[in-house]
Amino acid sequence: MSCNSTCQDEAVYRCQNQTNPAFVAMYSVVCIIGIPLNLMALVVFFCCIKSRSHTIVYMTNLALADLLLVCTLPIRIYYHLGIGELSQKTCEVAGLLLLANMYGSILLLTCISIDRCLAVCFPMSSRVREGRKKAPLICLGIWLLTIGASLPPYIINSNKNDTSKTCFRKIPTYAVKPVTLASTLTIGFGIPLIILLLCSWGLVHAVSKSTAAKMSGIVDSCKIQRMVIVNLAIFLCCFLPYHVMLVVIYINNDQMTCSVMSAYYNALMVTCLNTILDPLAYYLTAETFRKNIEIDTVRKMLPMNNLSSDGNTRSKPLVST
């Protein structure tokens, strides 16, 4: 038999224990590792790297998004320690920041993948170079999009004057509404995943077919493949379980069980691992594309008969960061 939303909320509230040592341990590990790693990344990006390449702009914003996400986790640690109750408003703000920065991370990871693919596949294209210069504006747009998309659910829930002390144990009904779920699965996850797969394939294909790139020693096809595999693994392992659980909750909305909700909260916890895995992606990207190549240097490595048109230069892709 199906029950109404009130009945479901009460049932889920009873089956979700506030005190959870596993959640405390995992969130604590993410905090202990994630905060210094992302702070170190920001220091390196701002102080130690003289060349402000377009990829560095995306990585800087990604490290900032990850750091903001990690800073919300002490609230969850305090809550799951069972020391005391938190205000519903505090829990809602923490949840808002987590979701906003999670989708910000997804979009920024996608932008990094696009930027690397364009740099390798179309190094001589003036249009591509001009487009890549818009990285700061794209990052600003991502921040506005993720914050703007996350605010309406928070405002709607706040206007309900809900006095229940459910905190992080409440069913995410706003996230599984048809319109919200459809936009989340397409714009927030599906399209970025497709773009990531296409760019990864394009990157590996371009480098494997480029004789000039191999001879120049700028890039290593094995390192490219390793970087692509690691980036895809991080993306899928961190974000796929959460979005699968959103679909499961939508399908089982009338008959919510404790096992479904437990799986949802564990999937949400897994997404936070992204904050300590992204620095690995920074390192692999920096090591793989370890040289900043000026456009004049690229021209010298290409045969003269390939410089006549943009179309010919695309047949021998090289890196231009």
Euclidean distance between CA atoms 206 and 129, whole angstroms:
18
- Show the tokens assigned to 280: 């690995």
Looking at residue 301, what is its pLDDT? 39
Q: pLDDT by residue (tens digit) across 259-284?
A: 888 888 899 999 999 999 888 777 76
Q: What is the 3-state secondary structure (H, E, C) of 14-43?
A: HHCCCCCHHHHHHHHHHHHHHHHHHHHHHH
Residue 135 predicted with pLDDT over 60: yes
Unique residue bearing structure tokens 């170079």: 129
Looking at residue 255, what is its pLDDT? 72
Residue 239 predicted with pLDDT over 50: yes
Range from 99-108, 143-152, 249-258, 301-310 that averages highest in pLDDT: 99-108
Q: Is 211 exposed, middle or buried (0-12, 13-18, 19+ CB in 10 A)?
A: exposed
Q: pLDDT by residue (tens digit) across 33-89?
A: 999 999 988 888 888 666 667 888 888 999 999 999 999 999 989 888 877 777 778
Crossing angle of helices 21-43 and 54-71, rounded to 10°: 150
Measured at the CA of 269, the angle between CA 268 and CA 275, to 5 degrees, comes to: 105
Domain definitions of the chain by residue range? 5-290
Count of helices and strands (H, E) across the chain: 15, 0
Q: pLDDT by residue (tens digit) across 139-186?
A: 999 999 888 887 776 666 655 555 555 677 766 677 778 888 888 899
Looking at residue 288, what is its pLDDT? 58
Looking at residue 70, what is its pLDDT? 93
Euclidean distance between CA atoms 165 and 156, whole angstroms:
17
Euclidean distance between CA atoms 220 and 75, whole angstroms:
43
Give 6's DSSP letter.
H
Looking at residue 106, what is its pLDDT? 93
List C-alpha distances in Å: 297 to 77, 119, 237, 307: 52, 15, 39, 13
According to the CATH classification, is domain 5-290 in 3.40.50.720?
no
Of 224, 234, 150, 227, give the one whose Cα is nearest residue 192.
234
Q: pLDDT by residue (tens digit) across 105-128?
A: 999 999 988 988 888 788 777 887
